Amino acid sequence: MILDGQDLAPAVAAGRSEELRNLIAYHNRRYHQLDDPEISDAAYDLLFTELRHLETRYPELLDPDSPTQRVGAPPLEKFQSFPHPSPMLSLANAFTEKEIRDFDERIQRFLGRSSGLFPGGAETIAYVIEPKLDGVAVNLLYEHGALVTGATRGDGTTGEDVTLNIRTVAAIPLSLLGNGGLPIPKRLEIRGEIVIATAAFRVLNERRLEAGEQLFANPRNAAAGSLRQLDSRITAKRPLDFFAYAIGMAADMVMKTHWEVLAALKAWGFKVHPFARRVDQIEDCVQGYGELYAAREDLSYEIDGMVIKVNDLDLQDELGAVSRSPRWALACKFPAYQETTVIEAIDVQVGRTGALTPVAIMTPVQIGGVTVSRASLHNQDEIDRKDIRIGDTVVVQRAGDVIPEVVKVVTSLRKGTELPYAIPQTCPVCGSAVIRIEGEAAHRCIGIACPAQIKEHIVHFASRGGMDIEGLGEKMVYQLVDAGLIKDPADLYFLRAEQLLPLERTGEKSAGNLLRAIAGTRSPFLEKLIFAFGIRHVGESMAKILARKYAALEDIMAATVDELTTIRDVGPEAAKSIVRFFQEPSNLQVLAKLKTAGVAPINRLFSASTEASGALSGKTFVLTGTLERMTRQEARQLIESRGGKTSESVTKKTDYVIAGTSAGSKLDKAKTLGISILDEETFFLLMEST
Q: Which residues are catalytic?
A: 132
Of the candidate residues 13, 20, 54, 91, the single one contacting ligand IVH (CB under 6 A): 91
Please identify, among the stretches 131-139, 339-347, 371-379, 585-593, the one whose residues bind ligand IVH according to the rule CB under 6 A. Answer: 131-139
Neighbours of 36 (CB within 10 A): 8
Q: Is 30 exposed, middle or buried (0-12, 13-18, 19+ CB in 10 A)?
A: middle
Return the SS3 of 36. coil
CB 525 within 8 A of CB 601: yes
Rounded CA gap, 111 and 115, in Å?
A: 10
Of the candidate residues 246, 285, 343, 630, the single one contacting ligand IVH (CB under 6 A): 246
CB 484 within 8 A of CB 512: no
End-to-end CA distance of the chain: 55
* Nearer to ligand IVH (CB atom), residue 331 or residue 361: 331
Please identify, among the stretches 86-94, 483-491, 587-595, 672-680, the one whose residues bind ligand IVH according to the rule CB under 6 A. Answer: 86-94
383 binds ligand IVH (CB under 6 A): no
> Looking at residue 286, what DSSP letter applies?
H
Rounded CA gap, 627 and 641, in Å?
A: 18
Residues binding ligand IVH: what is the number (CB under 6 A)? 15
CB 545 within 8 A of CB 534: no
360 binds ligand IVH (CB under 6 A): no
87 binds ligand IVH (CB under 6 A): no
CB of 90 to ligand IVH, least distance (A): 4
221 binds ligand IVH (CB under 6 A): no
* Nearer to ligand IVH (CB atom), residue 306 or residue 458: 306
CB of 138 to ligand IVH, least distance (A): 9
Q: Residue with the closest Cβ to ligand IVH?
A: 137
CB of 299 to ligand IVH, least distance (A): 13
CB 530 within 8 A of CB 556: yes
* Nearer to ligand IVH (CB atom), residue 156 or residue 391: 156
Site string for ligand IVH, 174-193 (x = CB under 6 A): -------------------x
346 binds ligand IVH (CB under 6 A): no
160 binds ligand IVH (CB under 6 A): no
Site string for ligand IVH, 279-308 (x = CB under 6 A): ----------------------------x-
Please identify, among the stretches 5-13, 132-140, 377-385, 507-515, the one whose residues bind ligand IVH according to the rule CB under 6 A. Answer: 132-140
* Nearer to ligand IVH (CB atom), residue 53 or residue 273: 273
* Nearer to ligand IVH (CB atom), residue 291 or residue 562: 291
Q: Give the number of residues written for the chain.
A: 690
| Alpha carbon distances (Å) from 426 to 54, 359, 434, 446 | 59, 16, 5, 9
Q: Is 127 exposed, middle or buried (0-12, 13-18, 19+ CB in 10 A)?
A: buried
* Nearer to ligand IVH (CB atom), residue 245 or residue 461: 245
* Nearer to ligand IVH (CB atom), residue 307 or residue 396: 307
Please identify, among the stretches 127-135, 198-206, 485-493, 550-558, the one whose residues bind ligand IVH according to the rule CB under 6 A. Answer: 127-135
Please identify, among the stretches 62-70, 87-95, 179-187, 517-525, the one whose residues bind ligand IVH according to the rule CB under 6 A. Answer: 87-95
Query: Which segments of 120-261 are extended strands (E)?
Result: 127-133, 136-143, 146-152, 158-160, 187-195, 241-250
Site string for ligand IVH, 321-340 (x = CB under 6 A): -----x--x-x---------
* Nearer to ligand IVH (CB atom), residue 277 or residue 632: 277
90 binds ligand IVH (CB under 6 A): yes
> Looking at residue 334, what DSSP letter applies?
P
Please identify, among the stretches 126-134, 140-148, 497-505, 594-602, the one whose residues bind ligand IVH according to the rule CB under 6 A. Answer: 126-134
133 binds ligand IVH (CB under 6 A): yes
245 binds ligand IVH (CB under 6 A): yes
Contacts of 156 (CB under 8 A, 6+ apart): 84, 87, 88, 89, 90, 324
**Helix runs in 136-195, H state only:** 163-166
* Nearer to ligand IVH (CB atom), residue 329 or residue 658: 329
Rounded CA gap, 86 and 386, in Å?
A: 40
Partnered with residue 277 across adjacent β-strands are: 129
Rounded CA gap, 510 and 43, in Å?
A: 45
CB 400 within 8 A of CB 302: yes
Of the candidate residues 94, 126, 137, 477, the single one contacting ligand IVH (CB under 6 A): 137
Q: What DSSP letter does each residue of 450-495 carry, written as one string?
A: -TTTHHHHHHHHHSTTTT--TT--HHHHHHHHHTTS-SSGGGGGG-
CB of 249 to ligand IVH, least distance (A): 13
Q: Which residues bind ligand IVH (CB under 6 A)?
A: 89-91, 130, 132-133, 137, 153, 193, 245-246, 307, 326, 329, 331
